[in-house]
Amino acid sequence: MRCPLLPVFLVFFIFGSAVQAAPYTPPSDDQVLERLPFKASAAEGRELSQLRRALSEQPQNLERALVLARRYFDLASAEGDPRYVGYAEAAIRPWTQAANPPVDILIVRALLRQYRHEFDAALADLAQAADREPGNAEIWSWRSAILMVQADYAGARAACDKLAPLASKLLATSCNAIIDERSGKARQAYTELSKALAQRPDADTDLGLWIQTRLAETAIQLGRDDLAERHFKAGLALGVVDGYILGAYSDFLLDRGRPAEVVPMLKDWERSDILLLRLALAEKAARLPAAAAHIAMLKERFDASALRGDKLHQQEEARFHLYLLGDARGALRLAAENYHLQREPRDARILMEAALAAKEYAAAQPALDWLKGNAYEDPAYAKLAQQLQAGAK
């Protein structure tokens, strides 16, 4: 017979020992303590340090600062390492601390701010930049993307309209397709996006990957699991390292009771909190012993960010509390706080799930309003909404 408390004991055991980890003196000079991120590509590391040196020689050189800051931002996004965001902010500090920063600095600051989920501040930077340079396509594409996260679909569409004459047809189509997908026109979004992709077989792999991911998620909304799976596999087959598609495909498999397929896919992704969460969920569902260690690791990471006062991963933290700690009330508190900031479908979903588990049906109202107000299509979401309404009666 399974002991329901066993995972809890294991967590305490492992976490307890992690806390007590004490400073030590390594026994040998050859012991490797840390692997630097550029181990695989020393050339990239060298290039980066050249850029740094160039800037430190002339810290007031705008062009050098922008190149380095952009480079750091790309790295932060690709590697998922927020340290680079701090480096980038420091590089542009001479301008951000002065009055009236240049447009390029405003844009970079907006990117860095949105990375840290300071969405309103990022939008303010973009608005200031747009006043001075309305023909800059980058400003509008970012504005649209941030408003999407805030579930302001009308605002996002207005930004797409501004973007359309400044960008390629494929980009304009993509910009609108995400909005359609989330506001009751999922079928149309799917058709247009697949048509646009078919017309541009030469599109680069990054774009191909992104469109396959969107098509897969739209297919899920349409209840077409077979199509979704095909798009996920096509996206993964492109061979681009991308955490988003891995996370989305893992969620798809977890929802369908196929955790055993998630484990090998994510086993080397422990360093990403987001994917580590999915890995632990899969291991728990598959009843693998590795789950306990991964749960302890997640707990340690959430504690470390709480110590800093960061609230960047509340959606994941809410899922962690609900499904790995069995703490529905804690999950609901986190999910509700998260929903003030981020209103993507996943944010609404965890809010509904936590409210249902905590039997505090009214707490899910903002998510229900979003679902109904935008006619968001997805059978799983509709079912959650139904359960919430039944529970409230």
Partner 1 sequence: MSRVLALLLLLLASFAAEAHKPSDSYLRFKFEGAQIVGQWDIALRDLEQAIGLDTNGDGDITWGELRARQPDIAAYALARLKIDADGKNCPLRATGHQVDHHSDGAYEVLRFAADCAAAPAAVEIAYSLFFDFDAQHKGLLNLEYRGRTQSLVFSPEHPKQRFVLSEISALRQFLSYGREGVWHIWIGYDHILFLISLLLPAVLLRERRSWMPVTHFGDAFWDVFKIVTSFTVAHSITLSLAALGVISLPSRLVESAIAASVVLAALNNLIPVVGGRRWVVAFAFGLIHGFGFASVLTELGLPRDALVLALVGFNLGVEGGQLTIVAAFLPLAYLLRESWFYRRVVLFGGSMLIVAIAMIWLAERALNMKLITP
Cβ nearer to partner 1, comparing 52 with 329? 52
With CB under 8 A as the contact rule, the residue among 1, 226, 307, 393 that binds partner 1 is 307
One symbol per residue from 143 to 182: x for binding partner 1 (CB under 8 A), - otherwise; what is it? -xxx--x-----------------xx--x--xx--x----
Of the candidate spans 33-41, 182-190, 258-266, 325-333, the one that interacts with partner 1 by CB under 8 A turns out to be: 33-41
Among 63, 300, 382, 389, binds partner 1 (CB under 8 A): 300
Q: Classify residue 343 by its DSSP letter.
A: -
Q: Which residues of 12-34 are buried (b: 16+ CB within 10 A; e: fewer)?
A: eebbeeeeeeeeeeeeeeeeeee
Of the pair 13, 287, the CB lying nearest partner 1 is at 13
Binders in 70-89 for partner 1, by CB under 8 A:
74, 76-77, 79-83, 85-87, 89
Residue 297 in contact with partner 1, rule: CB under 8 A: yes
Total residue count of the chain as it appears in this document: 393
Q: How far apart are the first and last CA of the chain?
A: 36
CB closer to partner 1 out of 119 and 128: 119
DSSP 12-23: HHHHHHHHT---
- Minimum distance from CB of 266 to partner 1 (Å)? 12
CA dist., res. 289 & res. 361, Å (int):
34
Q: How many residues bind partner 1 (CB under 8 A)?
A: 82
The 219-258 contact track toward partner 1, x by CB under 8 A, reads -----------------------xxx-xx-----------
Which range binds partner 1 by CB under 8 A, 194-202, 299-307, 317-325, 359-367?
A: 299-307
Question: Does position 301 bind partner 1 by CB under 8 A?
Answer: yes
- Assess 193 for contact with partner 1 (CB under 8 A): no
| The only residue of 1, 3, 5, 28 in contact with partner 1, by rule CB under 8 A | 28
From CA 81, how far away is CA 73, in angstroms rounded?
9
C-beta of 63 vs 204, nearer to partner 1:
204
43 binds partner 1 (CB under 8 A): no
Q: Where are the alpha helices (DSSP H) in 239-359?
A: 243-255, 259-266, 273-285, 290-308, 314-319, 328-341, 345-358
Residue 350 binds to partner 1 (criterion: CB under 8 A): no
The answer to whether 19 contacts partner 1 (rule: CB under 8 A) is no
Distances (CA, A) of 144 to 38, 79, 155, 217, 269: 33, 24, 7, 19, 30
| Only segment of 6-14, 16-24, 256-264, 380-388 that touches partner 1 (CB under 8 A) | 16-24
Tell me how far apart the alpha carbons of residues 275 and 196 are, in angstroms, rounded to a whole number: 30
Sorted by sequence, the CB contacts under 8 Å of residue 99 that are 6+ apart come out as none
Q: Label residue 61 left, alpha or beta by phi (over 0 means left) and psi (-120 to 50 means alpha).
A: beta
Euclidean distance between CA atoms 181 and 196, whole angstroms? 15
Q: Which residue among 2, 3, 4, 39 contacts partner 1 (CB under 8 A)? A: 39
